[in-house]
Structure 1
Amino acid sequence: MQYKSTRGKVSGIGFIDAFLMGLANDGGLLVPEQIPTVSAETLNAWSKLSYQELTLAILDLYTNDEIPADDLKRMVNDSYATFRHPEVTPVTKLKDELYLLELFHGPTFAFKDIALQFMGQLYTYVARERNLPINILGATSGDTGASSIEGVRGKEGINICILHPHGKVSKVQELQMTTVTDSNVLNLSVHGNFDDCQRMIKDLFADLDFKAKHNLCAINSINIVRIIAQTVYYFYAYFRVQEASGASQVSFSVPSGNFGDIFAGYLAKRMGLPVDRLVIATNANNILERFVETGEYKPDNFRMTYSPSMDIQVASNFERYLYYVLGENAEAIESLMNGFRANGSLSVSADVLEKVRAEFGAYGVDNEACLETIKRYEASTGYLLDPHSACGVEAAEQRGQSGSVMISLATAHPAKFDEAVQLTGIKQEFPAQISSLFDKPQRQTIVDGETAAIVSELVKFYPAQA
C-alpha cells in the first residue's frame, strides 16, 4: 500500500512517511493509492475479533509491513489499555432500530482518543526508531486538543502545540488541555474561531521550508493515519449490531464538523462494510447539509452553538470525499480547491450531486432541537446524551428509514458539555477525572488570530529547530 495526494503531485509514499507528512506537500490530502477491499469471508472472520485484534487486522491492510508485528501489537494494546470499557467502543440499544456507538471511554472522554492514543504511540515509535525530533502542530474545536496532548504529554523527543479558539470551547475541554504542565506541551488560545485556527495550520504546513525546518507533524484529521484508525469502530459496531439484530446492512448517523469521522465511515464502506446510508449530522454551522441539498459548498455566518466541537464551516476532509466522488480526478480537485480558496465557494454538477445524495443524507440540528433531544431521551430511556451525540440521534430520527437499522455515534461524554446539559434542567454527576480538573491551575498563551503571532510562539517553543 502506497499513498498519494488528492491534488496529484505526490505519490508513492509509504505508510510511515505518509504519517509524518500529514498534509501532502502539494497542499492536498493523502489517500491510499488503492482502497483495500474486504471479502464476505474476511468480514465473517473479523466479526469474532476483539477491538484490538480488529485494529491490527485493518492496520495490516495499510502499513506495508513497515512496522514489525510485535511492535505494532504492543502499540495497539498500549493505546487501548487506557480505556475504561473492555470493548473500547461498546454499542447500546436506544430503541427499536436505533443503536448508539459509545466512543467516549478513552482518557479524555471523547471519540478522538481512539485514533489519537494510537497516533501518540506511533509518534513515539517513529521518534525512537528514526532518531527524529517530532514537533506536532494541530488545531482543535475542543476534543482533538485534549486527546492529542494526552497521547504525547511527557514523551521524549516529541513536542506538541495545539491552537484552540479563545472562549469557544467548553470549560472542561479547555481545562483538559490547559491544566497539563508537561514542558513538551504548548496551548495557544487564539482570538478567532476554529476555521481561523485550521486555516493557519494548513498555511504553515503548506510552507514547505517552515515545515521542514521545524519538523512539523500533523495530528488533525488531515493525517490519513487518524482516518484509518477510525474506520475500525465502524466495522466493530456493525458486527455487534449484526449479532444483536440480525441486520445484514446498517446505516450510520455521524455528528460532523471537520468531516473526518464520517469520511472514515465512507472509507469503511468502500472497503466492503455493508453500509446503506451515511447521515451527516450538523448543527447551525451546516455547510455540509447545504452542500447535500444544493451542490454548493459555501461557508455562511459563523454561529456558536451548544455543540462547539461541530462549530466548523470549512471541513478539511471534505476534499478527500470530493476526490472520490469526482472519480479520483486530481486536476479537477486542484482546480476546485484553488477556486474555493480564491472565491470562498465551490459547486458540483447535477450528476455529481446525484451521486452524493445516493451515499449521504444530512440534517442540521438547531440549539433548541438539540436540547429537546437530550431531555426526551433522558426522560424515556434514562440515557444522557451530550449535545453532539444528541445532534446525531436527532439526525438519525429525521433521516433514518423505517425498517433500516441505524447506528448513531456518541462522540463525547455529557460531562464535557455541562453548560448545555444544565440548560435542560438535568443535573449530572461528573466522573472523578473531570471533577479534579477544576482544582488545577491553567497554563496557556492567548494570541492574536494572525499567522505571524503563531509563528512567533512556535519559534520560541521549538528552539532546537529554529
Structure 2
Amino acid sequence: MREANAMEYMSTRGKSESMESADAILQGIAVDGGLLVPVEIPKVDSEFIDELKDMTYQERAVKILGLFLTDYTEDELKKCVSNAYGNGKFDTEEVAPVKEVGDRTVLELWHGPTSAFKDMALQLLPQLMQTALQKTGEKKTIQILVATSGDTGKAALAGFADVPQTKIQVFYPENGVSAMQKLQMVTQKGDNVQVIAVKGNFDDAQTGVKKIFKNDVFVKQLETKGTKLSSANSINWGRLVPQIVYYFSAYADMCKSGTIKSGDTINFTVPTGNFGNILAGFYARQMGLPIGHLVCASNQNNVLTDFLQTGYYDRNRPFAKTISPSMDILISSNLERLLYHLTGDTMRVNGWMEMLAADGLYDVGVGMLQRVQNYFWADWSDDEKTKETIREVYDKTHYVLDPHTAVAWAAADAYRRKTDDMRPMLIVSTASPYKFNDSVLEALGEAAEGKNPFELLDALEAKNEVKAPKGLTMLKDAKVLHETCCEKDGMENVVFDFAKG
C-alpha cells in the first residue's frame, strides 16, 4: 500500500505503470524502453540549503535522498549512506571536496575506491538495491548489466562484488578504455562478477545492453529461471539520484568557506558523455539550488555540443577514440530524461527516441531549443586542446588535471570568454589523472611510449603534489581474472550463460 506522500516514478515514454523508488531502482529501466523519472521534482528553500552548511557529506546525502526515496525510512537511508561513504572507502572525510586551484574552484569527485566520480553513485546503488530487495520481498537474483566507457564498469564492480542476491556483468569496448581502466576491471575479484570485452565501441555495448532489456521474450525466460535483469548505468534512477547530492554539497561548502554568500547564483561546468552527471545538476537547479548555467563539456565526440547549440541530435558521424575515453559516446541516454522534463509530453519523447533508433537523428525545433538553452551552454575540445589545457594549468598552478577535467576547464574558459558571465564557476573534476598516465604525461612533455602503466604512474607521481591512489598502485600485483571477449551481437548469449552459471 502506498503512502499518500510517496514519490512515484513513471516512464519517459508513458507506456508503463508508475511505481515507488524501491521498485524503480530494482527494475532499472521501464518496460517500454523509457527511463524512469520522478512524477514531480521536490522543491527546497533557502533555509533547507543553509542547513546543509554545517552537515557532513553523509548527513547532506540523507537529507536530499529522503526527498526522492520516500519509501525508504530515514534509518534505512542512514545505513545505506554510511555503508557507501564511510568505513574509509574514500580517502578524505569530505568525500567530495571543493578545492581552490589558482583563480578557479574545482569539485573533486574522484576520492573513492576506483578514483572516478562514478564511485559517488556506485558505492550507494548496491546499498539502495539490497535494501529494496528486502523491502519488496523480491526473491529472484538481480543480474546487473553494465555498459561502460571506462569508469562506470570498475565502480559498479567494486560496489556489487559479493553483494548477496546479485550478479553483475560489465561490457566494455575492447580497445576503447585506458590501460589503467582495463586493469581495474579485469582484475576484479568476486564470485558474482564477470567482465567482457565487446568487439566494438561504447555505443555498441550500450545498444547491446538496451536491446537485451527490450527483448521481452528473453527477459521473461530469465525470470522463469529465477533471474531478474537490472542496470547500474545512469539509466537506473538509483545511479542518478546520488549525484544530485554533490551539487548541493559543493554549494554548501562554498558558502561555508566564504567563497560565495547564501543565495548567490553559480555556474557549473561538467564533462559528460551520457548526460547523467550534468542532468543531476539540472535536477538540483529545478529543486531550487541557485544555479545559473550548466556548461556541458564534450570531447571530439561532440554530439551533445551540436544538440545544445542547434536542437538537432545526429549520431551519424565518425566515432572518435580520444584521450578522454569516458566521453567517447554518441548516444547520450539521459538526454531523454531532460526532454521529458522540459515537455511533459511522453508522446513527443517517444517519437524522438523512435527517430533516433531508426535514423540516428531527431530535431526538437527552435522553441524547444530555446528552453534547453535557458539551462545549458556547451563547448568541446579535441585532444590537442585537451593536452594544451593540462599543460597550461600545470604550468600556472602545479595542479594536474585528468583529460576529462581538462575538457571541462577549457569549456569553462570558453563560456566566460563568449558570454561575459562572471558569476562563480565550479568545475566538476571527474577522475584522478593517474587513470590516464600516458596522456597526461605526454601533455606535460614527458615521453610515455614504451613504458608500462606502472612506470607511467611513477613518472606522473614524481610531477604531482598528490600521491597516486592505493587502489591503482595495488594493481601492479593483481592477477587478471577476466579475459572473455564477444561480438556485439553475442552479448545476449553471454548474459544467458552467466544467468545459468
TM-score, normalisation: structure 2: 0.89
Q: Matched residue of 1:105: which SS?
A: coil
For residues 273-422 of structure 1, the aligned pairs below 5 Å read 273-299=289-315, 300-325=317-342, 327-400=343-416, 401-422=420-441
Question: What is aligned with 1:175?
Answer: 183
Q: How has the CA–CA distance of structure 1 residues 180 and 448 changed in structure 2, closer, same or farther, with 3 Å as cutoff?
A: closer
Q: Name the residue aligned to 1:428.
A: 460
Whether 1:444 aligns to 2:463 is no
Alignment-mate amino acid for residue 46 of structure 1 = L
- For residues 41-83 of structure 1, the C-alpha deviation after alignment (integer angstroms, 9 at most, x for no partner) is 211222322110111011111112x233222211101100111
Deviations 1:223-280 (A, max 9, x none): 0121111000001111112333224111000001000000000011011110000000
The residue type equivalent to 2:460 in the other structure is: Q
More displaced, 364-373 or 422-431? Answer: 422-431
Gapped regions of structure 2 (runs ≥ 5): 1-6, 447-458, 462-467
Q: Which of 149, 160, 165 in structure 2 is aligned with 1:141?
A: 149
What per-residue deviation string (whole Å, max 9, x for no partner) do you get for residues 388-419 of structure 1?
01111111111134431000111000000112
Could you tell me whether the CA contact under 8 Å between 1:127 and 1:133 is conserved in 2?
Answer: no
* 3-state SS of paired residue (2:123): helix
Q: Secondary structure at the match of 2:34?
A: coil
Partner of 1:246: 260
- What's 1:8 paired with? 14
CA contact (8 A) 1:363 1:395 kept: yes
Letter paired with 2:96 = T
1:14-45 CA deviation, whole Å, 9 max, x = no partner?
Answer: 11100011111111111000010111221122
Does the alignment pair 1:229 with 2:242? yes
Question: What do the CA deviations read for 1:115-139 (whole angstroms, capped 9, x no partner)?
Answer: 0000122223334553441211110
Q: Which amino acid aligns with 1:146?
A: K
The total of aligned residue pairs comes to 460
Verify: 1:54 aligned to 2:89, yes or no: no
Is the alpha carbon distance of 1:127 and 1:445 closer, same or farther for their aligned partners in structure 2, counting shifts above 3 Å?
farther
Q: Distance in 2 between matches of 1:445 and 1:217?
A: 23
For 2:50 and 2:217, the matched residues in 1 are separated by: 48
Q: Distance in 2 between the 1:121 and 1:348 partners?
A: 38
Alpha-carbon deviation of 1:94? Answer: 1.8
Q: Deviations over 1:201-244 (max 9, x none)?
A: 11111123423423101100000121111000001111112333
CA RMSD of aligned residues (A): 1.4
Q: Does 1:125 align with 2:144?
A: no
Determine which of 39, 45, 49 is the counterpart of 1:43. Answer: 49
2:499 corresponds in structure 1 to 462
Paired amino acid for 2:39: E
TM-score between the two structures when normalised by the length of structure 1: 0.96
Q: 1: distance between equivalents of 2:207 and 2:386? A: 28
Identity, in percent, stands at 38
> Does the aligned pair in 1 maintain the 2:254–2:260 contact within 8 Å?
yes
1:254 counterpart SS class: strand
